[in-house]
Amino acid sequence: MAWTYILRCSDGSYYVGSTRDLDRRMAEHAAGVGSIYTRSRCPVELVWCQEFGNVGEAYAFEKQIQGWGRAKREALIEGQFELLPGLARKKWPRK
């Protein structure tokens, strides 16, 4: 099994990650060794997670969420799934 997760950092920003062992990864983030990004933004709080059948699925969803804006991430965290399509970033036509 694998997980995709979102942390809220002490500065209010969000960190998105994936792991095979959620408990171990949360302990690493709490100890300041989880990632360069969260190291200077401790303490962090786990605000959302989802389990996947394999690492590939978890990593793919991590990358998808990383491309989302703040409002769309917050809708996911709050379980407001019906808002997600409307919060998609606009793609401007290329010239």
List the chain domain ranges.
Answer: 2-87
Please tell me the total number of residues recorded for the chain in this structure: 95
Q: Given this model, what pLDDT does residue 49 score?
A: 98
What pTM was computed for the model? 0.91
74: Cβ–Cβ under 8 A, 6 or more apart, which residues?
Answer: none
Q: Please, what is the Cα angle at 57 between 53 and 62, to 5 degrees? A: 125
Q: Given this model, what pLDDT does residue 34 score?
A: 85
CA–centroid distance for 82 within its chain: 19
Spans in the chain with pLDDT lower than 70: 89-95
CATH number of this structure's domain 2-87: 3.40.1440.10
Q: Report the alpha-carbon distance of residue 40 to residue 32 in Å, rounded.
A: 8
Q: Given this model, what pLDDT does residue 65 score?
A: 96
Q: Given this model, what pLDDT does residue 92 score?
A: 62
Q: Given this model, what pLDDT does residue 9 score?
A: 97
Q: Please, what is the Cα angle at 33 between 16 and 43, to 5 degrees? A: 65
